[in-house]
Amino acid sequence: MTDRVTQEKWDAASRTFDLFTFADDRRLGPHKRRLFQKIRGATLMVAAGTGNDFKFFPPNLQLIAIDISPRMLERAARKAAAYQGSIDLREMDVCNLDFPAATFDTVATVCTFCSVPRPVVGLRELHRVLKPGGQILMFEHVRSAIGPFGILLDLMTPLSSRLGPDLNRDTVGNVQKAGFRLRRIENVYLDIVKMIEAVKDAAA
Amino acid sequence: MLFTIGDYLAGSILGIVTALVVRAITWPGMDMVIAMLVGMAAGMVLHLVVGLVLSPCLGMFETMMPASLIGMYGGMFFGMRDSMAAGSATHAAAAGVGAIFGVVVVLGVKVYDAILRGTVLDVGE
């Protein structure tokens, strides 16, 4: 069942989403492009949003991109059409994926697990739909481990979560809780914005 | 380059606004602890407002993280100075101290970012 509260929140956020991500796309885009060079095989993008990140994918991919918000997907359709490859947009909740087990070789996420209300459940679903040996490539912001920054992010989260994401998630820990093995972590801004790469072990 | 200039400008603007607002709501002889708490609260509110306005131009985290430090610690610092009458004699001088404080915090965060940036785990394939 789709999480209606989350869906409505992101439907509302879709109106101003491109405005608030304008500068982030330009400052962080090169890092996303570098991360997504590692995409291989059948690929699922989670939380497509308004499609701002499609331009950072290498050309000629055939991927499925999901989002919980139909309003976001409406805005993403134009950017998907402009992509030099194929992007199949679908409305779906990451906590309840409509794909068989072991479907994908790669899962890509951008600022997704700051917003999923049950992140470990969502990550376990991604673990399920990945093939053994498959990889998850994540561009996420997390709680800082640095005292003053961490406290500030904790203080801001009650406000930010009403309009958008939580700012104090332990996404690296959640990835491990979901059964993934960490392969690589890179700090992009302080220790808050990170690129996280993890794999589903072949034996899993 | 433009973003970097924008970061420093945003820091100095928030520093100036925080210094002037704290000066307006505290006074010489005010209990210093209360002045610091009032300054901190005002700075926190101001950083949210200024941060939200500037983040579409400069990026959410690049704006909010220095702004939160300027708001919180700058508010306390300016409150302490004003309550002790140890600070700037004029509003212009207070604004100047605010601008310098903002720029120094942005510089400090950039240095810290340069230290933290990069690979922290790589176990290969």
Domain encompassing residue B98: 2-103
Q: What is the pLDDT of residue A165?
A: 87
Between chains, do B122 and A26 touch, taking CB under 8 Å as contact? no
Tell me whether residue A18 is exposed, middle or buried, using C-beta atoms within 10 angstroms of its C-beta: 0 to 12, 13 to 18, 19 or more.
Answer: middle
> In b/e form, how buried is each residue of B30-45, taking b as 16+ CB within 10 angstroms?
beeeebbebbbbbbbe
pLDDT above 80 (res A190): yes
Tell me the shortest Cα–Cα distance from B97 to chain A, in angstroms. Answer: 23
pLDDT confidence tier of residue B51, bands split at 50, 70 and 90: confident
Q: What is the pLDDT of residue A133?
A: 95
Q: In this structure, what DSSP letter does residue A93 have? A: -
Q: What is the pLDDT of residue B57?
A: 92
Contacting residues of A for B120, CB less than 8 Å apart: 185-187, 191
Residue in chain A nearest B114 by alpha carbon? A190
Residue pLDDT, tens place only, A98-124: 999 999 999 999 999 998 999 999 999
Query: Pick from B3, B116, B121: which is nearest to A182 by CB?
Result: B121
Domain membership of residue B86 (yes or no) is: yes
Q: What is the pLDDT of residue B125?
A: 65
Q: Positive or negative, the Cα torsion across A132, A45, A32, B111?
A: negative
Residue pLDDT, tens place only, A55-64: 999 999 999 9
Residue A82 forms contact with B (CB below 8 Å): no
Would the pTM count as exceeding 0.80? yes
Q: Is A62 helix (H, G, I), strand (E, B) or coil?
A: strand
Question: Which pair of tokens denotes residue A124?
Answer: 């376990």
Tell me the shortest Cα–Cα distance from A184 to chain B, in angstroms. Answer: 4
Question: Which pair of tokens denotes residue A15?
Answer: 């109106």
pLDDT above 80 (res B87): no
Q: Is B20 helix (H, G, I), strand (E, B) or coil?
A: helix
Domain membership of residue B22 (yes or no) is: yes
Contact A178, A123 (CB under 8 A): yes
What number is the average pLDDT over the span A10-24?
88
Contacting residues of B for A105, CB less than 8 Å apart: none
Q: Positive or negative, the Cα torsion across A61, A64, A65, A71?
A: positive
What number is the average pLDDT over the span A34-51?
96
Between chains, do B60 and A191 touch, taking CB under 8 Å as contact? no
Domain membership of residue B13 (yes or no) is: yes
For chain A, which residues make up each domain, given as ranges?
4-199
Q: What is the pLDDT of residue B48?
A: 87
Residue in chain B nearest A21 by alpha carbon? B56
Domain membership of residue B125 (yes or no) is: no
Question: Which pair of tokens denotes residue B73?
Answer: 């610690």
pLDDT confidence tier of residue A148, bands split at 50, 70 and 90: confident
Q: Positive or negative, the Cα torsion across B54, B58, B64, B67?
A: negative
Residue A163 forms contact with B (CB below 8 Å): no
Over chain A, what is the mean pLDDT?
93
- Name the pairing type of β-strands B118-122 and A181-189: antiparallel
Domain membership of residue B42 (yes or no) is: yes
- Of A115, A96, A129, A137, nearest to A1 by C-alpha is A96
Which of A16, A27, A168 to mutate against chain B (most B CBs within 10 Å)? A27
Domain membership of residue B94 (yes or no) is: yes
Domain membership of residue B8 (yes or no) is: yes
Domains contained in chain B, number: 1
Residue A202 forms contact with B (CB below 8 Å): no
Size of chain A, expressed as the number of residues it contains: 204
Residue A15 forms contact with B (CB below 8 Å): no
Residue pLDDT, tens place only, B63-84: 999 999 999 999 999 999 988 8
Which of A149, A160, A167 to mutate against chain B (most B CBs within 10 Å)? A149
Domain membership of residue B116 (yes or no) is: no
What number is the average pLDDT over the span A128-140?
97
Size of chain B, expressed as the number of residues it contains: 125
Share of chain A above pLDDT 70, in %: 99
Contacting residues of A for B71, CB less than 8 Å apart: none
pLDDT top residue among A37 and B82: A37
Residue A167 has φ and ψ, to the nearest 5°, of: -110, 0
The complex scores an ipTM of 0.85
CATH architecture of A4-199: 3-Layer(aba) Sandwich (3.40)
Find residue A194's DSSP bridge partners: A140, A187
